[in-house]
Amino acid sequence: MSACLHSIRDQTFPCELVVVDNHSTDETKEIASRFADQVLSAGPERSAQRNIGAASIKVDILGFIDSDMVLSPNVVTDAVKLIAEGAGAVIVPERTVGLGYWAKVRAYERTFYLADEKTEAARFFDAVLFRKLGGFDEAITGPEDLDLTIRARKSARIARSSATIDHFECYSGYLDACRKKGYYVSGVIAFGRKHGRSRFLSFVDRGFLHSPWKLLKSPLLGVSVLLLKVGEAGAMLEHLTRQQGCRGQNSHRR
């Protein structure tokens, strides 16, 4: 987390920094207080946290960064420039970096999504547009940033920054990498209900699945990406089955 906050404070364009912590019991608040203008506690999920953070400040441009990200020095400067030139929101390309083999696999997978509007989401917004859209949909966790970007496209131009963000991912093993996606299954379903079948299918679709030979530029990593997709699907199905079982038990008790 400190690396993330350092990178924000080291931006070539100074900005107000608000950290919204989900009731951590570790040293998160103490670390955040060294860097942030405000440290707030809120939950239960990041859509609500982002909306609360946005409501706590009066600025012309809002940016939303996760604690496992590190920004290159010109991210904010470039976003401000693009919005000043008329963009309503700005996508900042992300690179996956991290420790372990499955972080390397995830990094290879991400190279196939660059400049793909089905998967890339905006991180900076004109504040007027953000509030007009009602902010993040708090019923969605996972693809909430893509949901907001889709809504923003209907009334504003979305620009793409030349700066980059490093997104750090670290997994203890294959199952850990798969289960991360399983956690977001409810949000993915809510996204599908909101945007309809065609948009949902385009969101979950991955072009390389139709042309898997494209993955073979690096054969071992390519096969690993396919294994990861199978494992993620299994984790999401397991999570969904567990949720439905819990609902059934609660209904029976009533």
CATH number at 216 reads 3.90.550.10
pLDDT in tens, 120-149: 999 999 999 999 999 999 999 889 999 999
CA–CA distance, 84 with 77 (Å, rounded to integer): 11
Q: Which residues make Cβ contacts (< 8 Å) with residue 47, sequence separation at least 6?
A: 136, 137, 138, 139, 140, 141, 144
Q: Are strands 94-97 and 165-168 parallel, antiparallel or unpaired?
A: parallel
Please compute the mean of the pLDDT values over residues 34-57 and round it to a whole number: 93
Q: Are strands 18-21 and 38-41 parallel, antiparallel or unpaired?
A: parallel
- pLDDT at position 111 over 90: no
pLDDT of residue 43: 81
pLDDT band at 250 (very low <50, low <70, confident <90, very high): low
Please state the domain count of the chain.
1
Q: Domain range holding 48?
A: 2-253
Residue 142 in 3-state DSSP? Answer: coil
Omega of the bond leading into 44 within 30 degrees of 0 (cis): yes
pLDDT in tens, 200-226: 776 667 767 777 788 888 999 999 999
Q: What is the pTM of this model?
A: 0.87
More confident residue, 173 or 248: 173
